[in-house]
Amino acid sequence: MPDPGPGVGPVPEHVAIIMDGNGRWAQRRGLPRVAGHRAGAESIRDVIKACRAWGIRYLTLYAFSTENWSRPLEEVSALMDLLVEYLDRELPELKREGVQIRAIGRWRDLPERQSRKVQAAIEATRANDKLVVAFALNYGGRGDIVDACRALAEEAAAGGGRPEDIDEESFRARLSTAGMPYPDLLIRPSGELRISNFLLWEMAYTEFRFDQVLWPDFRREHLRAAIDDFRNRRRTFGALPEQGR
């Protein structure tokens, strides 16, 4: 059946999602938490397909935060294994479908096996341009801001710039999200009403949508509902509505 897409009106250019609720999904079924993480991969699949079909250009998925290292070792290892499993299984299709994979955060500090896989996926899809899917891996918004400050300071110390040359654009260019537009819409499933250190700088003017559904049950219908909601928001970026921004 052809996908009717999300009704009339423009779609957001960049959607960001905090993929939350895997553990509760599993616990409600009497399953180990990892079963929820595994089931979440199917949600990723459906959401990527929908974004591609509906013309969304950027999708950023929060997969592992810098704070998630404080979970039990067993769960952290399972998540690391799932990352490799996911990339091994999905990469051929993502490649075929024109998806460009990116990673944000301190993903290079993941265990070697994981960081190599991520690097390989980025390289294998670099020329694709249908949809950019950025995985936030070992990501923290505060850490990303600190890393950008450090990069600017290092350049200045090496004689490459003066403090007065630093502005929002030069700062933005050193974040791991450099080159991507800011998110138009953030979706957090699972009922939690917080941003948990995600995209702190980038979400200054993002529209928020919170949903009760748990991530493993999230499908394109939930994305469609979020987009419908987004279309009813009035975004003025500090100006007045009649100024037509």
Among ligand IPE, Mg ion, none, the one that 17 touches (CB under a kind-dependent 5 to 8 A) is: none
Who's near 167: CB < 8 A, 6+ residues apart? Answer: none
Per CB under 5 A, does 144 bind Mg ion? no
Contact set for Mg ion, span 3-22 (CB under 5 A) = 20
Stretch that binds ligand IPE, among 14-22, 90-98, 168-176, 225-233 (CB under 6 A): 14-22
Q: Which amino acid is at 106?
A: R
Q: What is the DSSP string of 25-72?
A: HHHHTT--HHHHHHHHHHHHHHHHHHHHHHT--EEEEEEEEGGGGGS-
- Give the span between the Cα atoms of 137 and 63, in whole angstroms: 6
Which residues ranging from 185 to 244 are in contact with ligand IPE (CB under 6 A)? 190, 192, 194, 196
Annotated catalytic, 20? yes
Asked whether position 18 contacts ligand IPE by CB under 6 A, the answer is yes
Report phi then psi at 133, rounded to 5: -110, 115
Site membership for ligand IPE, residue 68 (CB under 6 A): yes
For ligand IPE, the nearest residue by Cβ is 23
Return the number of other C-beta atoms located less than 10 Å from residue 9's C-beta. Answer: 10
Per CB under 6 A, does 17 bind ligand IPE? no
Q: In what order do the strands lie in the sheet with 185-188?
A: 99-104, 131-139, 58-65, 14-18, 185-188, 207-210
Catalytic residue flag (residue 68): yes
Please, which residue, 22 or 100, has the CB nearer to ligand IPE? 22
Q: How far is CA 183 from the centre of its chain?
A: 9
Using CB under 6 A as the binding rule, whether residue 66 contacts ligand IPE is answered as no
**Interface with ligand IPE (CB under 6 A):** 18-24, 62-65, 68, 79, 190, 192, 194, 196
Catalytic residues: 20, 68
